[in-house]
Amino acid sequence: MKKILSGAVAAFSLAASAAWSADEVTLQLKWVTQAQFAGYYVAKDKGFYEEEGLDVTILPGGPDIAPTQVIAGGGADVTVEWMPAALAAREKGLPLVNIAQPFKSSGMMLTCWKDAGISAPEDLKNRTLGVWFFGNEFPFMSWMSQLGIDTGGKSENGVEVLKQGFNVDPLLQRQADCISTMTYNEYWQVIDSGVSPDELVTFKYEDQGVATLEDGLYVLEENLNDAAFVDKMERFVRASMKGWKYAEENPDEAADIVLENDATGAQTEAHQKRMMGEIAKLTAGSNGSLDPADFERTVGTLLAGGSDPVITKQPEGAWTHQISDAALN
């Protein structure tokens, strides 16, 4: 009996020691709790972070939260951000560095009413188009510039840009001929409102050749000089990618885990399961390491912004394989 007790005490002591020594990591998400971020919630729920000796806090985003500002102010160690916003912030003096890229493809697209007479990008002229701002407008502006379409107002060769909120009302209320949507979210909100897919035309940024990288993991450059921080990020990326691949293979379970973490209660099971199915298409093909060709395509799109480009020069030091190579190889 004494031997069993001593073994139990030793096991408890070991567990307590592991919990006590877990390194804390705070992750700032780009948006609210939803399947877009399933990999991180899965990694936490399944104990993948714990296995790496990490105690991870996941902070949801929202319409009033700018991830770049949170990390700049020390509120997070690592943040999920779209590359256009990260590169724009870097050029303005916030030295963000991409350390991993779980998303291989872009989910952004323009969704239009077919009965407005829109069937090709050239038909967008003289229309009102809903566009998200706060850094999300960059790929759109570059696309319009490449098409030679002015964004200063409706004309034979111009469009009126409507600053779109994070809903689909401008399309449903016919305030805009097209709106910005994600393949995994807003498009389905339009469908759920009673609109048939046959009534819509979509233009995926991937298909238009202007897709930019989304949902990468970014840290402040100065922290990469800290060996302890680098070690933490290696473990964080390894566990996160384990979570992402588990989510891809078990989409319904991943959606359920997301729902369990939705403190607002705003998300529905049907929407999250459908979203996870779409998200899995975007993370498929990525092991978490940034493909330099995808980076160059993103930069090329952003530099082609006409008179008001997102960035004005080729970025240097904006990404590194230092973390992903150590974490994934």
| Residue type, position 236, single letter | F
Query: Do 111 and 186 form a contact (C-beta atoms < 8 A)?
Result: yes
Q: Strand pairing of 78-81 and 216-220? A: antiparallel
To 10 degrees, what angle do helices 38-45 and 227-249 make? 100
1 occurs within a structural domain: no
- Length of the chain, in residues: 329
Q: What is the pLDDT of residues 304-327, one digit of tens each?
A: 766 667 789 999 999 999 999 999
**In the prediction, which pLDDT does 32 show?**
95
Q: Across all residues in the chain, what is the average pLDDT?
A: 92
Residue 18 lies in a domain: no
Q: Per the structure block, which two tokens stand in for 177? A: 């001929």
Q: Give the chain's count of helices (H) and strands (E).
A: 14, 10
Q: Do strands 108-113 and 178-182 pair parallel, antiparallel, or not at all (unpaired)? A: antiparallel
pLDDT at position 310, please? 79
Rounded to whole angstroms, how far apart are CA atoms 65 and 194? 31
Q: Domain of 304: which CATH number?
A: 3.40.190.10
Domain that residue 79 falls in: 23-104+213-328
The reported pLDDT for the residue numbered 116 is: 96
Say whether both 160 and 291 belong to one domain: no
Identify whether 79 is part of a domain. Answer: yes
Tokens of 36: 């877009």
CA 54 to chain centre: 22
Distance CA 222, CA 93 (A): 13
Instruction: State how far the Cα of 235 lies from the Cα of 90, in Å rounded to an integer.
Output: 25
Tens of pLDDT, residue by residue over 118-141, are 999 999 999 999 998 876 787 898
Residue position matching structure tokens 């910005």: 180
pLDDT at 48: 98
Residues 147 and 83 in one domain: no
- Strand locations in the chain, DSSP E? 23-28, 54-59, 78-81, 96-100, 108-113, 128-131, 160-163, 178-182, 200-204, 216-220
Query: Is there a single domain that holds both residue 91 and residue 125?
Result: no
Helix (H) or strand (E) holding 48: helix 48-51
Residue 315 and residue 230 in one domain: yes
Q: Is residue 71 part of a domain?
A: yes
Give residue-wise pLDDT tens across range 183-210.
Answer: 999 999 999 999 999 999 999 999 998 8
Mean pLDDT of 282-296: 96
Q: Is the pLDDT of residue 9 over 80?
A: no
54 sits in the region (left: phi over 0; alpha: psi -120 to 50; else beta) called beta
Instruction: Give residue-wise pLDDT tens across range 138-171.
Output: 789 888 988 999 999 999 999 999 999 889 999 9
